[in-house]
Structure 1
Amino acid sequence: MTGTDTAATTASAAPAESGTPVLALRGVHAGYGDTTVLRDVDLSVAPGAVVALLGANGAGKTTLLRTVCGLNRATAGSVELHGTDIARLPAHRRTALGLCHIPEGRGVFRSLTVRENLYLQAEPGRNAQAIEAAVQAFPALGKRLDSPAGTLSGGQQQMLAMAQAHVRDPKLVLVDEASLGLAPVVVDEVFAFLRQLADRGTALLLVDQFVTRVLKIATHAYVLRRGRIVYDGTPQELRSGSVFEQYIGAA
């Protein structure tokens, strides 16, 4: 596939037609300053798919997610949402089109209360529904609604960050290391939540240190090595001994 560098000229993506991916990267290059991190990346996420994005530290996984959500600029190629190139749209416009990014490192406003964080995640006029949805997904948040987010445990902060994927009802969720640094019992809750999102038809693009757990819920897998896609196929094939060792190794 070859990439294009055309700017998006519309503020709304067309509804996905049959066979149209929710997300498609075509020939994407991206990096920081003069340093190129991603090189000629082709990747797609089908409606309702759970896609694992794997690779060693420094392979470019976080850069790829940041490029999709608009925090990092693609220097070449196209980033398509429902078939529309959004590579030149700012991050907030992409969010309005149904894209949700849960970044590594607890993406919450620590000085605001849990309730205020949820209000910021909610669509205008739907604050009560946002609280209800978040507490339904993560009951522990219901007991801390008026507490500053910075006083929550690491696991509770991650729950708060992930609640936006339930509150906004997005079409595509990008998740970057949601389980990093969490206790095993919280990791179980995180993966149970991801499975719930998948079961309701939300498309997911997942980066996580627990490779085998991600592959258990994934419908497709990509492996990045030094900014290039080196594996594009099924989780079942990737889990086979020789292929797994070749692309993932001890990870």
Structure 2
Amino acid sequence: MLEVRDVHAYYGESHILHGVSLDVKKGSVSALLGRNGMGKTTTLHSIMGFVPPKQGTITLNGTGIQGKPSYQISKAGVGLVPQGRRIFSNLTVKENLTTTHRPIPGGWDLERIYDMFPRLKERHTSMGGNLSGGEQQMLSIGRALMTNPDILLLDEPSEGLSPLMVREVIKIIKRLKEDGLPMLLVEQNLSMAADLADHVYILNKGKVIFNGPSEEFNQDVRNEFLSLSS
């Protein structure tokens, strides 16, 4: 499905990713964890083409996508739910969804999105900027699904949400997983990540320092690799 191999990425002269490698298998969720500033979002941005790798390869379904423009990577089947939601505040809910729609037979369309997110159907004429944080996150996920991706990248989907909305987001991701959609999840909520992921990667200073199935992501691993003192 998605294979990232020995990726090095830079912001200007700053070397951010130092040989990152990871995989997302068909129908599975991989979690990419780490403290702030360790390269998680940069990894997603490298996959999406926002920060093209200077070295390494990224393949989706066996086809290399590294170095391509982000719109081509999106067309190749990579969907992104960005950190901070980034919905179009001056467009309605319906316009946010239809603007990104890439129709395929049997794929995601408005009817299917509204079935998964009844609240968005209720608020389809509301401007994006007038939605609550939870509603905006639903819209951000729905907008990404409307591109009919082969894989979904989620960057901190629980950030800034109430506990009630976090539980709702977990339900949504579980439902997508049950439908067979592969996902790469960046998340600070460790309990949420452990609940959702099949495989866990931990980044530190742009390097993968832990790589294992979710069963191995125990408290000892969290203390060793994710504690503030490590």
Question: Which TM-score tier does this pair reach, normalised by the shorter chain?
Answer: over 0.9
Q: Look up the match of 2:44.
A: 65
Equivalent of 1:246, from 189, 202, 224?
A: 224
Amino acid at match of 1:30: A
Q: Look up the match of 1:91.
A: 70
SS state at 2:83 partner: coil
Equivalent of 1:155, from 121, 127, 134?
A: 134
Deviations 1:158-214 (A, max 9, x none): 110001343333211000001100111111111111011111111110011211111
Q: How far does residue 79 in structure 1 lie from its aligned partner after superposition?
A: 1.1
- TM-score for the superposition, normalised by structure 2: 0.94
Distance 1:27-1:115 versus aligned 2 partners, 3 A rule = same
Amino acid at match of 2:221: V
Amino acid at match of 1:40: G
Q: Look up the match of 1:36.
A: 15
In structure 2, how many angstroms separate the alpha carbons of the residues matched to 1:165 and 1:199?
17
Q: How far does residue 132 in structure 1 lie from its aligned partner after superposition?
A: 1.1
SS state at 2:152 partner: strand
Query: Are residue 50 (structure 1) and residue 23 (structure 2) matched?
Result: no
Q: How far does residue 49 in structure 1 lie from its aligned partner after superposition?
A: 1.3
Unmatched segments (≥5 aa) in structure 1: 1-21
Amino acid at match of 2:51: N
**Corresponding residue pairs, total:** 227
Q: Look up the match of 1:219.
A: 198
- Within 5 A, what are the aligned runs for 1:199-210? 199-210=178-189
Of the structure 1 ranges 142-151 and 56-65, higher mean CA displacement relative to structure 2 is found in 142-151
User: Contact conserved, 2:201 with 2:211, CA < 8 A, in 1?
Assistant: yes
User: Contact conserved, 1:137 with 1:166, CA < 8 A, in 2?
Assistant: no
In structure 1, how many angstroms separate the alpha carbons of the residues matched to 2:211 and 2:104?
42
User: Contact conserved, 2:92 with 2:126, CA < 8 A, in 1?
Assistant: yes
Unmatched segments (≥5 aa) in structure 2: none
Q: How far does residue 249 in structure 1 lie from its aligned partner after superposition?
A: 2.1
User: Contact conserved, 1:133 with 1:166, CA < 8 A, in 2?
Assistant: no
SS state at 1:74 partner: coil
Deviations 1:128-153 (A, max 9, x none): x6221221111111111111111111
Of the structure 1 ranges 159-168 and 205-214, higher mean CA displacement relative to structure 2 is found in 159-168
- Within 5 A, what are the aligned runs for 1:8-157? 22-123=1-102, 130-157=109-136
Equivalent of 1:174, from 121, 131, 153?
A: 153
Q: How far does residue 243 in structure 1 lie from its aligned partner after superposition?
A: 1.9
User: Contact conserved, 2:102 with 2:148, CA < 8 A, in 1?
Assistant: no
Deviations 1:12-60 (A, max 9, x none): xxxxxxxxxx111111000200001000111111111110100000110
User: Contact conserved, 2:16 with 2:42, CA < 8 A, in 1?
Assistant: yes
| Moved >3 Å (runs of 4+) | none
In structure 2, how many angstroms separate the alpha carbons of the residues matched to 1:84 and 1:179?
31
Higher relative contact order (CA 8 A, sep 6+): 2
- Aligned identity (percent) is 37
RMSD of aligned Cα (Å): 1.7
- TM-score for the superposition, normalised by structure 1: 0.86
Q: How far does residue 107 in structure 1 lie from its aligned partner after superposition?
A: 2.1
